[in-house]
Amino acid sequence: ETTIEVLARRKKNNPVLIGEPGVGKTAIVEGLAQRMVAGEVPETLRDKRLVELNINAMVAGAKYRGEFEERVQKVLKEVTEHQGELILFIDEVHTIVGAGQGGGEGGLDVANVFKPMMARGELNLIGATTLNEYQKYIEKDAALERRFQPVTVPEPTVAQTIMILRGLRDTFEAHHKVSISEDAIIAAAELSDRYITARFLPDKAIDLLDQAAARVKLSATARPVAVQELESELHQLRREQDYVAARKQYDQAAELGKRIEAKEAELKKLVEDWERERASGSAEVKAEHVAQVVSRLTGIPVNELTVEEREKLLHLEQRLHERLVGQDEAVRAVADAVRLSRAGLREGSKPVATFLFLGPTGVGKTELAKALAESIYGDEHALLRIDMSEYGERHTVARLVGAPPGYVGYDEGGQLTEKVRRKPYSVLLLDEIEKAHPDVYNILLQVFDDGRLTDGKGRVVDFTNTIIIATSNLGSDIIQRRLKAREAAGEEYEKTKAEVMDVLRGHFRPEFLN
């Protein structure tokens, strides 16, 4: 509606759609074109044509100076000849700034050629670009910016995305030759919103549904495993028959021939059953197929708990004790937190669990973290270890989240944020946390509370599927003193615990310990 209002203005009737990649800027213009064809637009736009101008195609092949300018003049001549009838659409409109200069300074680019006509209202132009590129290229040129009217395109909500996916359902069904259930559409919108944080709706939800449909189509058309196994068995039997026949062992060859006939009949029946099943009806894309795609893309188990995983979680304490002797209280607390998380009984925005392991060196703090990574994620390498003793200086905070723009190492990303961004479903071990600078605690507070952290490039890293374990040796001298005095059991254990907690409160701020 805003775009149509701007187009209907007398002067400066040039809207530029600004929004994040994938929110549907180009789709809005395509929708406007469809409405213009159907006549569902105000009187002022009814007899107009919407034409896309490809700047890259205009620049391509222009070898000599003046060749590109000639092409631009031809376009402008056609626009003036059909004045009032044409609306130009330029996708990635920031490309008009500097296009055609050939790298030389002071030459005329497309933006400077368009400016006078845009100001007089002779050129009706719709642009589309992202906010970063608008600020970088167009806002710098105040004379160009004042000729555009920005129209912000926000990211659609999950409910709006579901409506968009319903509109695309027929297209996907026709392409993949599968049927898409309502559950799959809702799952694509909700799961993409929750787990794929680096991209925007509806683009990420559309991609998810598309890939799930492709997966179902391929699994429906691929030959079943039983058929493939039988075919390889037959191939082996034929080779054996040829071998024994060559050695004139005809009795064995005849026996193998009977086995081959039986296997061929079995294979024929299997293939017929599979083809009948395939022809009987189209495969259906369900919510679990979408969940499988999300799991594959992110490494996060989104699908329902399988029987094996349920068994694994029920006996988690036993699995942890296979590697760790004693430490019953710590093992029980860790296992309970993991079970609650996988059952969905936790606050959505916080990490799976956040622990602070205290104790003298060698009691198994790091070993429990390794055992947890192996028990839950099936791999000890799912443990992301950061030695906090390396972050004792104030300036080292930048190493965790990445250097800001203009500083050395900006392109490398942060040591904490990059690790978790690439492997969100893991155990994060912050070893010897008491040795880090207090400014590091402020950064970690945000992770513990909100389960998110923004890196140096402005990307939000999601920690909601991460188990965070911090280890510390604070108070270990108290524990060892009590042990030497043989006062570590019963009531004395509680006293020791209280003393260690006092030491902790003296070192960490209350909000950090909470």
pLDDT at 305: 46
pLDDT above 70: residue 106: no
pLDDT above 80: residue 163: yes
Please state, in angstroms and rounded to a whole number, the distance separating the CA atoms of residues 191 and 290: 8
Q: Where do you find CATH 1.10.8.60 in the chain?
A: 155-302
Please state the rounded mean pLDDT for residues 276-285.
67
Q: What percent of the chain has pLDDT over 90?
A: 0
Residues whose CB is less than 8 angstroms from the CB of residue 277 and which lie 6 or more positions away in sequence, other chains included: none
Q: Tell me the CATH number of domain 1-152, given options 3.40.50.2000, 3.40.720.10, 3.30.960.10, 3.40.50.300.
A: 3.40.50.300
Q: What superfamily in CATH does domain 307-473 come from?
A: P-loop containing nucleotide triphosphate hydrolases (3.40.50.300)
Q: What percent of the chain has pLDDT over 70?
A: 79
Q: Which residues pair with 467 in a beta bridge?
A: 353, 427
pLDDT digits (tens, 9 = 90+) for 395-419: 777 777 777 666 666 666 677 888 8
Average pLDDT, the chain: 76
Contact 472, 432 (CB under 8 A): yes
Q: How far is CA 6 from CA 34, 43, 86, 125, 368, in A?
A: 18, 14, 15, 10, 62
Sign of CA dihedral 54, 65, 62, 84: positive
Report residue 108's pLDDT band, with 50, 70 and 90 as the boundaries: low
Which range scores top for mean pLDDT: 59-63, 99-103, 342-346, 354-358?
354-358
Across 78-148, where does the E strand assignment appear?
86-91, 125-129
Residues whose CB is less than 8 angstroms from the CB of residue 405 and which lie 6 or more positions away in sequence, other chains included: 456
Under CATH, which architecture does the 155-302 domain have? Orthogonal Bundle (1.10)
The tokens describing 36, both together, are 């213009």
pLDDT above 70: residue 27: yes
Residue 127, SS3? strand
In order, the DSSP letters of 392-461 are -SGGGHHHHH-PPTTSTTGGG--HHHHHHHH--SSEEEEETGGGS-HHHHHHHHHHHHHSEEE-TTSPEE
Report residue 379's pLDDT band, with 50, 70 and 90 as the boundaries: low
Model-level pTM? 0.66
pLDDT digits (tens, 9 = 90+) for 455-483: 777 777 878 878 888 887 776 666 666 66
pLDDT above 50: residue 103: no
Please state, in angstroms and rounded to a whole number, the distance separating the CA atoms of residues 177 and 514: 54
Residues whose CB is less than 8 angstroms from the CB of residue 10 and which lie 6 or more positions away in sequence, other chains included: 121
pLDDT above 80: residue 487: no
Q: Where do you find CATH 3.40.50.300 in the chain?
A: 1-152, 307-473
Report residue 288's pLDDT band, with 50, 70 and 90 as the boundaries: confident
Q: How far is CA 195 from CA 11, 103, 186, 390, in A?
A: 45, 42, 14, 31
Which residue, 35, 56, 38, 36, is CA-closest to 46?
36
Residue 165, CB half-sphere, CA atoms under 13 Å: how many? 30
108 or 216: which leads in pLDDT: 216
pLDDT at 219: 74
